[in-house]
Amino acid sequence: VLPPSTGKIDFHNVTARYTEAGPPILSDLTLSIRPGTRIAVVGRTGSGKSTLALSLLRFTQLSKGTITIDDISIQDIGLETLRRDLVTMIPQDAILFEGSIRENLDPFSSHSDAELQSALDACSNISTSPSAATNQLLRLGTAIHPHGANLSHGQRQILSLARALVRPSRIMLLDESTASVDSATEARMQVIMGEQFRGRTVVAICHRLRGVVGGFFDQVLVLGNGEVKE
């Protein structure tokens, strides 16, 4: 069950910095995302794509402007509500820790084994040959080494997707969440996201245009120097 939010996002003339004395990373950025749309964010290295995502989670300081979700300023939304209930982020570097896959998927034990297993099942058979290694791995009891060291980058991203599937938030932020998998696997991850994220707002940072073609996205946002270029 999704929380009572439509997933509408607006940036109004936002200037954002990481520190008060630091340089502006987003400059006077205005952007409107309709509920339930899927936006690809592209732009060169350092153009501010990750910063845009982090700003929605209040990891930056706004020296100007406001960011709203469903027309409510995120400054007026509690951090826990914002980061746990409203928005789910798959970060650029998947955060995995030592423990079982079950613990990594659901650190606060708020889901049943059946729910977690069905998220893993949705992600199994995801990678193309040789897929056996990945499928063997996607079990609740599988041990993960610190920082996910025993997994490939692509396997970490598949696990991050499984983790996102159990989160019922209206807004999904994906930071290059398919960058480390081959193109067939990426296409299948997008099919799963298309099914599982139906009706949710998806903001996906795509470093390579490869992930943008294929009809998954409704709109493409081009960032340059912290500004909307297109």
Binding site for ligand ATP (CB under 6 A): 18, 22, 25, 43, 45-51, 207
Interaxial angle between packed helices 153-165 and 113-123, expressed in degrees from 0 to 180 and rounded to the nearest 10: 130
Tell me how far apart the alpha carbons of residues 89 and 179 are, in angstroms, rounded to a whole number. Answer: 15
Residue 82 gets which letter from DSSP?
Answer: I
51 is a contact residue toward Mg ion (CB under 5 A):
no
Q: Which residue's Cβ lies closest to Mg ion?
A: 50
- DSSP summary character for residue 91: -
Region 153-172 residues binding Mg ion, contact defined as CB under 5 A = none
The site partner of 18 among Mg ion, ligand ATP, none (C-beta below 5 to 8 Å per kind) is ligand ATP
Check binding of 50 to Mg ion (CB under 5 A).
yes
Q: Residues 204, 40: contact at Cβ < 8 Å?
A: yes
> Which stretch of DSSP H or E encloses residue 79?
helix 79-80
Residue 147 interacts, among ligand ATP, Mg ion, none and using kind-specific CB cut-offs from 5 to 8 Å, with: none
- Closer residue to ligand ATP, CB minimum distance, 138 or 173: 173
Q: How far is the CB of 92 from Mg ion (least distance, A)?
A: 5
Quick one: 49 or 102, whose CB is closer to Mg ion?
49
Q: How far is the CB of 155 from Mg ion (least distance, A)?
A: 21
Q: DSSP string covering 50-66, please?
A: HHHHHHHTT-SEEEEEE
Residue 55 is a binding residue for Mg ion (CB under 5 A): no
- Give the dihedral sign, CA 98/101/107/113: negative
Q: Which is nearer to ligand ATP, 43 or 105 (CB)?
A: 43
Q: Which residues lie near Mg ion (CB under 5 A)? A: 49-50
